[in-house]
Chain A
């Protein structure tokens, strides 16, 4: 079970950012921008899947996650934990283990027939399910996973990720429209703050990253990407 420690939210964000930088999950490249799924060009890329290979890091992050969930949602408000295929599955398994809850995972596409065709594991009518993924950019995949769980009878009102981009205001609006509350450990702003403090990356790169975080669509347009979020 989790350590029962309720660390300060800002400290958890800073520690998470430090861990992401330490395991080289964070990539900044303003010369050769990355392309988001939505067509937005970006100087930043994060690979949270790397975290599974670092037992001490993942243990700390999962403790953070559980303490955040208990504090923000409650101790008896979740009946099961579902991971989004594929990156969300290991994190969901660890959270379910720590909270002593059943687990499922949600496929990106249905396999077979019936209303449960996208779900692996048992799901019951009215079960309050927490959706887990590694990260959120524009929130699109959360909505799709959530809809699949709801079709199978689950009640899904909360989702948690290790990392939230926090650069598109539309993300939270869209989540709220779908009765979904997003919980997260760290954002790009936390990573940038820690990267500056610890001297990761050169000053020009960090300046460019900050320019992107402040005005992502403008930065994207200047660097060959889309100037609006495509769904």
Chain B
């Protein structure tokens, strides 16, 4: 369900431009897919925040790998919840991802 965002990051080199492209696709998908809008929106916001925070900063290849792994974890969690199919699993996954975002923003 959400793997296309990982593919976008990979295809675009995992740099800031890649995260901008990922955010754009995520926001578009949130508008187009009411059944997964909240999850798409969260992933798009994560990608946008990464690009905003790190643009023109001395980010290392290690930082980029670590951010990519973290984004991949979010995608996997949401994929699993959407495959599970229950509303409870989806809500729990959304709350988990949103909680981590809040911790990062604090």
**Residues of chain A whose beta carbon lies under 8 Å from any beta carbon of chain B:** 27, 32-41, 45, 47, 87, 140, 223-226, 228, 230-231
Contact = CB atoms under 8 A, between A and B. Distances in A.
Contact of B12 (A32, A47, A225, A230): A230
B61 A230 contact: no
Contact of B18 (A39, A41, A87, A228): A39
B17 A35 contact: no
Contacts of A41: 61
Interface string B48-90: 0000000110111111110000000000000000000000000
Contact of B61 (A32, A38, A47, A231): A32
A33 B65 CA distance: 12
Nearest to B13: A39
A140 B12 CA distance: 15
Pairs of residues from A and B, 6 with the lowest C-beta to C-beta distance, nearest first: A39-B13, A39-B15, A226-B13, A37-B16, A230-B13, A230-B12
A164 to B, nearest CB: 15
B58 A40 contact: no
Given A39-B18, A87-B56, A230-B18, A34 B13 contact: no
Contacts of A225: 13, 61
Contacts of B60: 32-35
A47 B58 contact: yes
Given A87-B56, A230-B12, A37 B61 contact: no
A27 B17 contact: no
A230 B58 contact: no
Contact of A45 (B14, B16, B55, B58): B58
